[in-house]
Homo-oligomer: A and B are copies of this chain.
Amino acid sequence: MTVKESNSWIRIREELLRRINERVWQPGETIPGEAELAEEFGCARTTVNRALRDLAEAGLVTRRRKAGTRVAVNPPHKATFTIPIIREEVEARGSSYSHSLLKREKRPLPTSLHAAFPVGDEAFLLYTETVYFADDRPFMFEERYTNIDATPAFAEAAFDLISPNEWLVQNAPFTTGDLTCYAANAGPALSGLYECQDNTPLFVMERVTFNQTQPITHVRMTYSPGYRLRTGF
A contact set with B: CB distance below 8 Å? 20-21, 27, 73-85, 166, 169-170, 173-174, 176-185, 199, 201-204, 211, 226-233
Q: When the two chains form their complex, are residues B233 and A179 in contact, meaning their CB atoms are under 8 A apart?
A: yes
Q: Which of B85, B179, B183, B233 contacts A203 (CB 8 A)?
A: B183
Q: When the two chains form their complex, are residues B76 and A82 in contact, meaning their CB atoms are under 8 A apart?
A: yes
If the complex has contacts A179-B232, A180-B228, A202-B201, are A74 and B85 also in contact, measured as CB distance less than 8 A?
yes
Q: Which of B20, B76, B183 contacts A202 (CB 8 A)?
A: B183
Residue of B nearest to A85 (CB): B74
Q: When the two chains form their complex, are residues B178 and A232 in contact, meaning their CB atoms are under 8 A apart?
A: yes
Chain B positions within 8 Å of A199 at CB level: 185, 199, 201
Jot down 10 A-B pairs with beta carbons below 8 A, ordered by A: A27-B170, A75-B173, A76-B84, A77-B83, A77-B169, A79-B80, A179-B230, A179-B232, A181-B229, A199-B199
Query: What's the minimum C-beta distance from A44 to chain B, rounded to whole angstroms?
Result: 12
Q: When the two chains form their complex, are residues A78 and B82 in contact, meaning their CB atoms are under 8 A apart?
A: yes
Interface-central residue, A82, A173, A202, A232, by most chain B CB under 10 Å: A173
Residue of B nearest to A79 (CB): B179
Chain B positions within 8 Å of A228 at CB level: 180-182
| Cα distance, A204 to B76, chains bound together (Å) | 20
Chain B positions within 8 Å of A184 at CB level: 183, 201
Query: What's the minimum C-beta distance from A208 to chain B, rounded to whole angstroms?
Result: 10
Chain B positions within 8 Å of A76 at CB level: 82-84
Query: What's the minimum C-beta distance from A107 to chain B, rounded to whole angstroms?
Result: 24
Q: When the two chains form their complex, are residues A233 and B177 in contact, meaning their CB atoms are under 8 A apart?
A: yes
11 further interface pairs, Cβ-Cβ under 8 Å (given A76-B84, A79-B81): A74-B169, A76-B82, A78-B82, A79-B177, A80-B80, A179-B230, A179-B233, A181-B181, A183-B183, A183-B184, A183-B201
